[in-house]
Each structure stands twice: as structure tokens, then as C-alpha cells.
Structure 1
Amino acid sequence: MSGLLSRRQMLSAFAASGLAAMGAGGLSRAFAKPAEGLEILGAPNGSTIVLVRLLASGGLNAAAPGSTFRLWRDTDDLRAAIVSDRTRLFTTPTHVPANLANRGLPLKLFCILSMGHLTVVSADDSIKDLKDLAGKDVLGFFRNDMPDLVFRACLKGAGMDPDKDVKLTYVQTPMEAAQMLVAGRVTTAVLSEPPATAAIMMAKQAGKSLYRAVNLQTVWRDQHNGLGLPMAGIAVHEKLIEDNPEVIAALRTGLVPAKDWVLANTAAAGELAQEKMGMKAPIFAASLDHFNVVATGAKALKPGLVAFYETILSMQPDALGGKLPPDDFYLDM
């Protein structure tokens, strides 16, 4: 008979000191180490400010000492960081981790940070709803990517054909679209935040008027039985959950207070966004009311996410890797 303790004996011994209270996984969690030197990546959209605030407030210092933050440039940059194990935590449009998970990367969607930030902005104050766009020129951005797919889906939901009932043209970025709108080169554009706020502010300075003509989040809710538009959130690698549960616990504890601080301190949030995200503080602060910032677990918003993903699949299956993510993709917060 070997003198080594059996696994059952070991667990029984640790249980006496409370270390195995969580069952078979208790041993690894009891000795889990902080996630030292974690590279945290942020999507270049406004809702990332919630995670930036959590970091700036020291909310991850104990769980992830020496962590760094940077904005990721594109999905190739993000994927490379995930595959090389440089990052296990990042903010993202919600379709990106679903796509990568369906293509074999062990990712989970932890929470939602934004319930949409898309607006039809126009110099034509006669435009009140989507049907008023019939026959008109509309400038979009990121063709065949999420903002374009959302706008097209909303048009279809209003009984319109995006390819026939409106005259859609595209530029590469939302700021390019905002600048063309301010310059009077186009009358109407689909914009994200903060470019929509920037366009309205720049137009006012130039003695012109631009209007938020159609809120696409409101249209989406009306067309989807009250379900919102969960467009951006935080995703995590399975290894972070397994190896560094303290980080997950710190996120669960700190994200809601971080969100509340951002919404209550818009000027300071603008300064933080300028420092950490390269966004102009006054414009960012003025646009916060239009980000629809939240901090809600992905599992709690699963019905809305599934509706969002199903809409994407019906229009561009490759954007999600051809299928819905599995049920365990959605985490509690």
C-alpha cells in the first residue's frame, strides 16, 4: 500500500481547513495566483471607459498586479494577442468573441457594457423616423460590419429594402462620416458615439444645425419586443476563469461602481478617456448620455444577445462563424 495520500484523503484533509469548500475544483482555486502582468485590451469605443475606470481606481490591483492596458486596433491584433496568451481579458463588440469562440478559441462573454450607440444624424429636420429616409442619400461606415448590419436590419424591420429604398454609400470610419456631414458634403449619416456628438458640436461651432433624427436603439427595441441592442461588452479567456478567479471576482465587485462613477462624473470620465483612450475630453463627456452604458452579466441579457446574433446570422453568417455560440458562452456577473 503506497504511503501517498489518495485524492479523496487529500480533499478531506483540505476540507477540514475550509480549502475544499467549493468541491473538486477547490484545490486549484485555493492556490490560484494573481494574474501578474496581464495585458488588458480595450475596443476603441466609448463603453470601454467603464473598464478603464475600474483599472484607474485600483480595482484590479490585487487580482492583477502590474497589468497594462491598450486599445486593440482590429480583430487580427486582438486574435494574435489571444492566441499568444498575451491577453485573457478585453472589451469588445459582442459579435467578435462569439465569432472567435465558434472558430475554436476558448472565450466567454462576461458582461455587457453598452446597449448600443448608433444614431441617424441629419441636417434635414423633416426626418423623424426610418420611413422618412425613403429615396434619400444616407452615408454609412464599416460596410458589412456591425453598424451597417444593425442599420440594414432596422430598415428591413420597418418594411424597407436597404438596397432599393435608400441610397447608401460608405466611408471607412465614423469620424470620416461625421466630418463629411459637418462639411455639408452629405445631408444624412449613420454615426456611432462619440462621432455623432462630435458632428453636432462641430456643426454648431460652424453656425450649422445637425439633429439626432433616429435613435437606432429605440427602433431596435420596438422591432424586437422590447429586447435591447447589446453591442459591446467584456470577454474573457477560459484560462482566466480557471487560473485567476480573483480577477473574475474583482470584475464582479467593481464594474457596477465603475459604471456608476462614469455616469456621475462625466467631465472626469472625459479626462480619463482622453488620457487612456485618446478621445477628446469635452466631446467624450458630452456624448456619455448617448452610450447607453450598463454593467450587466451576459447571461442575464442572453435573450437580447440571441436575438442580436440571430439577426446577424440571417444577414451575414460569417460574422458569427456561421452559428450561435454555445449556451456556456454567456457568463453571470
Structure 2
Amino acid sequence: MKRIVVGLLAVVLACTALSGCAATQLVTGKEESVTAQEAVVTRIAALKGPTAMGIVKMLEDDKEAESPRYDAALYTAADEIVPLIGKGEVDIALVPTNLAATLYKKTEGGVAVIDVNAGDVLYGVSNEENSFYSVSQLKGKVLYMTGKGTTPEWSLRYLLSQNEMTMNDLTVEFKSEPTEIVSLLTQNPDAVAILPQPFATVAVQQNDSLRLSYSMSDEWQMYSDQSIQAGTATGVTIVRRTFLEKHPEAVKQFIEAHKASVDYMRDNPEEGANLIEAYGISKAEACVSLLKYHTPLIAVAGEKMKAWVQEYLEHLYEIAPEAVGGEMPDDAFYYVG
């Protein structure tokens, strides 16, 4: 175990859509039961952003339950969650997909993916006259992005390769904060950006001259297996294998509750947006539009999840093998129920 924890602490991978403050404890639950008679309380860790948006209705309902099922906390960085998984202090975690693959290797198969929780996350933002609909139109342009050395960069590199281009065909300037990019777009009307949600929507709401013209997930689908019809599976939910083996019914219940929560959020955008703000993820004003017109939060499980994640990781592996831990995960990585 000591060797595994040390390995985990070396994994420092950022998420593509983060905002907010320090870790926030959300639900006060009991410790995981040690007897069959006691209720199982699942300890959850999630990254602020689209990965966590889909569970807020589930958590809110759980607060009112006579016997709460969840003890959850939200974090702003993946490297806050990694050691918790290694030490067995978290049962289920919502993390970037490539991090899940890396953790699978570092823990020697100690985690499994149970669903996809975030997909259509990265969007092109520009002034109307510089709108683009494919990365092929970025040749010669200045592109601002976050996520150097993480999913946004690897996704861009993959799509450029499909268009017979490389990073040398444009000028990519990586910034640490999406808010900095919004300011730069205002100063340089000829520049374009690829931003994660909800920042892309916020940028358009704050500046009437900006437009959302491009979905990276849409272009990704053009080069995917059409029988899968999968876009960018940017976030997944993983479970510790020991927890899965000991409490399979609790895991199945989570999968069902997660899907019901996502369905509610998408069917009730105003109420869902208010919950997202209440949990400190993003402002409700931006999230109403996000939930109405885009699909960053999802809950896809079973064989469809496996096919989607497997193809996504294969594409990342083509560009940067280190992105998925140096090798593709085997079938045991996927829990299909």
C-alpha cells in the first residue's frame, strides 16, 4: 500500500474545467459501515466543474433523506483527490478520464470506471468575424487555451492531426486562468480561444461581441466510430475496487441516482442552475444557458460507457501515451454492471 500511495502522489493532472475555492465539505455522513446491519454511506470526491454538476441534485435530495447515503466533498484540483483514493478515504470519485486511466495503472487495477459524467465541455470562443467551425480554420491564428499538458492540449493535438496539421501551424498561448483569456479576447479582437464550460458561456455573456461557434466534441465525433456516436468523454466516475466488491448494490444505486440527477438538471435548467451555484461550482446565470443549450453533464454507464471511454483513451494514446499512464487499460478497467 505504501508503494501505491507514493505512486499516486506523483500523479499531478489538472482538470479541464475548474473554478472556485478550496475543498468544500457538502454532506455530513457516517463512516462506512463495518457490519451488514448498518447503512452504507458512500464517500464521494468530485472536481468542481461539469464533472460535479450532475450530482448536485442527488446530493441535495440526500440531505433530506432519513438515512443519508452520501458523504461528499468538492475539490478544485485533481491532485487533492488522488491521495484520498490511494489511502482508501474516498469510495467514489469524479475525475478526468485520463487521470482515471493513470490511477488504474498506479493502483494496479485498484479502481474501475462506472460511468461517464462529462462530455461536451470544450468550446471555441471568438468575435463573430473570426468564428471557426473546425480546427482546420485555426491555421495562422493566435489561439488562447488553458490546460497545457492535459486533456485540452491533447484533444487539440489529436484533432489537428486528423486535419493534417500540427501545433506549428498556429500560435497556441496557454494561460493558467480562463478569466485571463476572456480579457485577452477583448484586447485582441483577431484572437480566438478554446475554453471549458462554464467559462465559455460566461465569456459570451460578459462580452456581446463574443460568440460560441465551435464544439470540440462535435468535431471529435467526425473522426469516431459512427456506431458509437461518442464525443469527448472528458470526465468519468471511478470506484475503488474493494468498495465495489464489498458493496455492489451501493455502486449500482449510485449509478442510477446519478443518471436521475443529471436528467433532472437537464429537464429543469433554472432549478438545476440554482443548485450548481448553491454548491459553489458556478453562477446560476451562466448555468441556465449551459443546461438549456449544451450537454457538458451526462451519466452514461454500461457497455456504451466502455465503448465511449475506450475510444477516447485510444485517441489520446495516439498523441501522448503518457496521458493514459503509458499503456491502454484492459477490460477490467470498465464496470459495466
Please name the residue that 1:4 is paired with. none
Q: Distance in 2 between matches of 1:168 and 1:191?
A: 13
Please name the residue that 1:70 is paired with. 73
Deviations 1:280-316 (A, max 9, x none): 1111222223234321115323233222112222222
Please name the residue that 1:99 is paired with. 102
CA shift at 1:75, angstroms? 2.8
Residue 171 of structure 1: which of 161, 167, 175 is its match? 175
Q: Distance in 1 between matches of 2:263 and 2:252?
A: 18
Q: Distance in 2 between matches of 1:242 and 1:59?
A: 26
Q: Distance in 2 between matches of 1:87 and 1:62?
A: 22
CA shift at 1:267, angstroms? 1.3
Please name the residue that 2:255 is paired with. 252
Q: Secondary structure at the match of 1:90?
A: strand
Check whether the contact 2:44–2:92 (CA below 8 A) recurs between aligned residues: yes
The verdict on how the C-alpha distance between 1:218 and 1:274 changes in structure 2, with shifts beyond 3 A counting, is same
Please name the residue that 2:26 is paired with. none
Please name the residue that 1:324 is paired with. 328
Give 1:166's aligned amino acid. Answer: L
Please name the residue that 1:119 is paired with. 123
Check whether the contact 2:120–2:215 (CA below 8 A) recurs between aligned residues: no
Q: Distance in 2 between matches of 1:243 and 1:182?
A: 53
Moved over 3 A (4+): 29-33, 59-65, 182-186
The verdict on how the C-alpha distance between 1:158 and 1:84 changes in structure 2, with shifts beyond 3 A counting, is same
Question: Where do 5+ consecutive residues of structure 2 fail to align?
Answer: 1-33
CA shift at 1:275, angstroms? 1.3
- Structure 1 segment 6-155 matched on structure 2, within 5 A: 31=36, 33-36=38-41, 38-58=42-62, 65=69, 67-104=70-107, 106-126=110-130, 127-155=132-160
Give 1:329's aligned amino acid. Answer: F
Q: Which deviates the most, 95-104 or 181-190?
A: 181-190
The verdict on how the C-alpha distance between 1:96 and 1:34 changes in structure 2, with shifts beyond 3 A counting, is farther
TM-score by length of 2: 0.81
Q: Distance in 1 between matches of 2:285 and 2:218?
A: 26
TM-score by length of 1: 0.82
The verdict on how the C-alpha distance between 1:70 and 1:31 changes in structure 2, with shifts beyond 3 A counting, is closer
Please name the residue that 1:210 is paired with. 210
CA shift at 1:331, angstroms? 1.4
CA shift at 1:258, angstroms? 1.1
Please name the residue that 1:284 is paired with. 287
Q: Secondary structure at the match of 1:331?
A: coil
Check whether the contact 2:51–2:95 (CA below 8 A) recurs between aligned residues: no
Q: Distance in 2 between matches of 1:285 and 1:158?
A: 34
Q: Distance in 2 between matches of 1:304 and 1:225?
A: 9
CA shift at 1:324, angstroms? 1.0
Q: CA RMSD in A?
A: 2.4
Q: Which deviates the most, 130-139 or 72-81?
A: 72-81
Q: Distance in 2 between matches of 1:309 and 1:245?
A: 26
Please name the residue that 1:301 is paired with. 305
Task: Determine which structure has more spread, i.e. the larger CA radius of gyration.
Answer: 1
Q: Distance in 2 between matches of 1:318 and 1:104?
A: 16
CA shift at 1:32, angstroms? 7.1
CA shift at 1:156, angstroms? 1.3
CA shift at 1:91, angstroms? 1.0
Count matched residues.
Answer: 298
The verdict on how the C-alpha distance between 1:232 and 1:286 changes in structure 2, with shifts beyond 3 A counting, is same
The verdict on how the C-alpha distance between 1:238 and 1:310 changes in structure 2, with shifts beyond 3 A counting, is same
CA shift at 1:141, angstroms? 0.9
Question: Where do 5+ consecutive residues of structure 1 fail to align?
Answer: 1-28
The verdict on how the C-alpha distance between 1:243 and 1:179 changes in structure 2, with shifts beyond 3 A counting, is farther
Q: Which deviates the most, 178-187 or 77-86?
A: 178-187
Q: Distance in 2 between matches of 1:309 and 1:32?
A: 40
Q: Distance in 2 between matches of 1:214 and 1:329?
A: 32
Check whether the contact 1:89–1:237 (CA below 8 A) recurs between aligned residues: yes
Give 1:119's aligned amino acid. Answer: Y
Please name the residue that 1:222 is paired with. 222
Deviations 1:118-174 (A, max 9, x none): 111111524343222111110111101001111121111112112x21111110133
Check whether the contact 2:49–2:282 (CA below 8 A) recurs between aligned residues: no
The verdict on how the C-alpha distance between 1:310 and 1:32 changes in structure 2, with shifts beyond 3 A counting, is farther
Q: Distance in 2 between matches of 1:213 and 1:76?
A: 32
